[in-house]
Every structure is written in C-alpha cells, then in structure tokens.
Amino acid sequence: MEDEVYADTDSDTEGANSDGSAEQPGILQVYLIQNTFGDDNYLTICYWFFIANIAAVAVINNEGVDSEHSEDAHEDNASSSEISDFDLNLPTSHSYLGSNLEELKGRTILDEGIYMNLPLLPMRSVVLFPGQTLPLAVFGSGVINMLDNCIQKNRTFGVVCLSDDKLEMVGTTAEIFEYTQGGEDGGFCIKAKGRQRFKILEIIQGYSQKSANVRIMPEITLSHPIFEQRLTSLDHRRVMLLNQKDQATFDRIRKLDAAVTAWPDWVYKHYDPQILAFKIRQNLQFIVSRGSSVPTDPTDLSFWVAQNLPLDDKERILLLEYDCVISRLQWQLEYLTKDRILVCSTCDKKIAKQSDIFPMSKEGPQSTFCNSSGFIHDTITVYKAENLKLDPNPPSAEYSWFPGYAWTIANCDGCESHMGWRFTAHKNKSLRPLSFWGLTRKGLKSRKLKKSERKLSTRSDSS
C-alpha cells in the first residue's frame, strides 16, 4: 500500500504545529437561518428573518465581529469614514496558490448514464459537490502524474471521499480550470470545479494511482405533478417563483390548477422544486444581503446548499446519492427549519449557533481551502464563537485565505481538538469585519437545540 498516493486532507495537529502551516485557515462558511415555525407561519418567519438579518449585518458592518476583544473595539471606534467592507470576491480567487496559474479554456460535459474509466483522487473527509471549487496543492509524484495526464486529455478526474479509511462508492467529477507546475518546492497547484456525480462500479489499483470504472449518474428531472392536468388557459399568466412579488400570482394559479385534481393544493407544494427552492432562498436571505450569490435554479441551489451546510460526511454522501433535486431540497428545507447549534465533534461542547454563521466569500459561507502543505480544509465562517482557546503565537498573515486577515489557531477549550482559526484584520484596521472565526468542518457537528438550551439562547439574545 506504500505506493498508494492519497491527497491527504487530514489536519494533523502535531505536523501542523511543526511547520506552522498545516492548521492554516480555510473557510467553509455556512449561513443558515434557523426558524422553529411551521409552514403556515412562513410569511411571519420571512419577516423576522429579514429583521434578524438586517440586525446581524448591521452588527458586522458597524461594530466589528468580536466585541469581546477590547483592542478591536477600540480600533472600531476609530475613523468610521475610512471603514471598508471585505471584498467577498477575494477568497474565491484562492490567490494564496500564486498568481502564475495557467488557465484552461473549454468545458467537458460527460453524457449522463455513460460508463467510463476515471482516474480517482480519494480525499479524506472531502465530499465535492457539482459547482464547488476545489483548490489543491499536491506534491506526490503519483498524483502529479495523474493530474498532468488529465490536463493533456479531458481535464477531468474523480474525487471520492475517504471516510474512516473506507472509500465511498459515490463521488463527483472535477474539471481542472487553472494549474501551475513546479513551484519553488516542485509542487503542483490546481483549481478544479465539481461537475457531475458518478457511481463507482469497480476500483482498479494501478502502480501508484487508483482509477475506477464508473457510471455518470443522471440528474432526474420530474415534470410538475399537475402539468398534464393544468388549466392551459392560465398559461399566459404563469410566473416563475423567484421573489416575493411573484408569490401571490404563483399561489393563486397553483390553487386553481389543484382545484381540478383529486388532491388539495398543499400536497403538491411538497413536490414542487420551485416552491422548495423559494423557501430555502427565503431562509438564506441574509447571505444575499451580505453579497454572496445564492443560485435561483433549483438544481444549482440544491448543490450550493449541500456545499454550504455544516454537514458531516455521511449527510453529505446521502445528499450526493439523491438523483432528484426534489429529494435534496426537501431534506435541506427540513434541516434549515430546525434550531441547531454547532458543537465540538469530540467533546460536544457548544462552539457556535447556526445563526452566527455568515459568508466571507461570494461563493457562500462555506468554502474549501488548501494550505501550503497541501491539507484541505472545509471552513465555515462565524462571527461569534465560544469555548475556544487561541494559540499563544502571534497571528500570521502567511498564506492567508482571506487577504488582509491574519490567522491564529483555535482549539477546543474542553478537549484541545483543533477547531479552526480566528482571523483578525491585518494592517488595515478599517476593514470590516475586524475579526471572525473560521471553523473547520471536521471539528464540528451540528445538532438540534435542546429545549433547555433554546430558553438560555433566547435569554442571552435578548440581554
């Protein structure tokens, strides 16, 4: 097995400290709004979400992120006229990989349902979704040769999650769009985009690299359940449900359509991708208000949400296995409408509330980053965290995933596990937010809020 080459994404804490870089920040940011209301109170929920988000954004923009740090608070009172918001486009460029990457043009689209052989890149605790950007710095000759071959051919390889040393049998193709060879240390940097899901039928172990016979999984699109019975005389009045102003017209026509069927209209609501996507986007309004792009197409949205939720590997694999957008959106809506908190995956200590999550990237609150040693980190950005202990070393701006911010390693106060980093504005103190936390997805799990915690949370929010 010594010939096997894996893209090691594990953040080995000791190794990290020895070279000072493996625990570098990355941001898997998730912005979720929690609500505890039922479907009937949806408009009320939207209103309160809107108010809550405006308030949250105001806090971030005007007061900085972490008021417990007196130094920051002092700086924050400085010249307000010079305050500038962080440019959310910066993290999406992954500029820490260097500026000399060569761009590859064109796009490879594989026919759905075809069988093919695909070079495989198993990655610990990384589940790639279509549309997601994957930055990589690789050093092993096996992986470099494989990627080099890909660039000469269709630029496509398969990413599969290695979970508890077990290879998952479902993965996503990744298409390389930028690369550079032979840096100072002979490494190889690439940026790739997740494209299509595949199912592994047979793994083939080569001399130094795995490949697999796979089937490209189809994305099943069902026609609307009432499409055949719909009142065609209303076709000219139909609208896409993309924003609030279209909702009244959309609902009226939907009810008229359902009236001629045997089922009440609320049954169809649970299977209409447009309605499910609209509800999810309403839950994520605060992300849009902070400048991130949330897709409107239901399929793109379902993958975007899967990428940005703080899910564990098993939940991510489950979402990747769904062939139909309706199943994915139903699962995600159920998840989003529960009060949740983020806790340490080792000792269960509370780390952050789901409502503390906010985006620091155009791509959303959770992104995949790579550090100088090649470790991959899915990182979620939150503006408040607790029960974390900061490394005594001064903040470092080296290889920072957020240009303008320096990072400090943060560990769990209860069990010392590595939980992520605290980012603080470096040099330019007029940058907003002044500081925030980047939590690594591997260190966290999300669980529903217990009744007792909900009361405490409400009390502390109102105080």
The CA–CA distances, whole Å, from 300 to 35, 94, 106, 120, 127 equal 23, 22, 20, 24, 16
Tell me how far apart the alpha carbons of residues 159 and 166 are, in angstroms, rounded to a whole number.
Answer: 14
Exposed / middle / buried, residue 8 (Cβ in 10 Å: 0-12, 13-18, 19+): buried
| Smallest distance from Zn ion to CB 242, Å | 42
Under a CB-based contact definition with an 8 Å cutoff, are residues 195 and 175 in contact? yes
The span of 93-101, 264-272, 415-423, 449-457 binding Zn ion (CB under 5 A) equals 415-423
Which residue stretch of 140-148, 318-326, 338-346, 366-374 sits at the interface with Zn ion (rule: CB under 5 A)? 338-346
Q: Is 415 in the site for Zn ion (CB under 5 A)?
A: yes
**351 near Zn ion, rule: CB under 5 A:** no
Instruction: Give the other-Cβ count within 10 Å of 84's Cβ.
Output: 10
Q: Quick one: 285 or 446, whose CB is closer to Zn ion? A: 446
Q: How far is the CB of 6 from Zn ion (least distance, A)?
A: 26
Among 181, 296, 330, 346, binds Zn ion (CB under 5 A): 346
Dihedral (Cα; 302, 304, 306, 307), 10-degree rounding: 170
Nearer residue to Zn ion within complex by CB, 289 or 417: 417
**Site size for Zn ion (CB under 5 A):** 8
Residue 387 within binding range of Zn ion, rule CB under 5 A: no
Q: By CB under 5 A, tell whether 412 contacts Zn ion.
A: yes
Residues 6+ apart with CB under 8 A from 41: none
Residue 277 binds Zn ion, judged by CB under 5 A: no
344 is a contact residue toward Zn ion (CB under 5 A): yes
Which contacts (CB < 8 Å, 24+ apart) does range 267-273 have? 268/224, 268/225, 268/226, 270/330, 271/222, 271/225, 271/326, 272/224, 272/225, 273/298, 273/299, 273/325, 273/326, 273/329
The structure tokens listed for 206 are 């080569």
Closest separation in Å from C-beta 449 to Zn ion: 18
Burial label, 7 (beta-carbon count in 10 A; 0-12, 13-18, 19+): buried
Q: How far is the CB of 347 from Zn ion (least distance, A)?
A: 3
Name which of 327 and 346 has its Cβ closer to Zn ion.
Answer: 346
Stretch that binds Zn ion, among 147-155, 262-270, 286-294, 342-350 (CB under 5 A): 342-350
Q: Verify binding: residue 347, Zn ion, rule CB under 5 A.
A: yes
Shortest Å distance, C-beta 13 to Zn ion: 13
**Residue range at the interface with Zn ion (CB under 5 A); choices 121-129, 183-191, 265-273, 417-425:** 417-425
User: Which residues are at the interface with Zn ion (CB under 5 A)?
Assistant: 344, 346-347, 349, 412, 414-415, 417
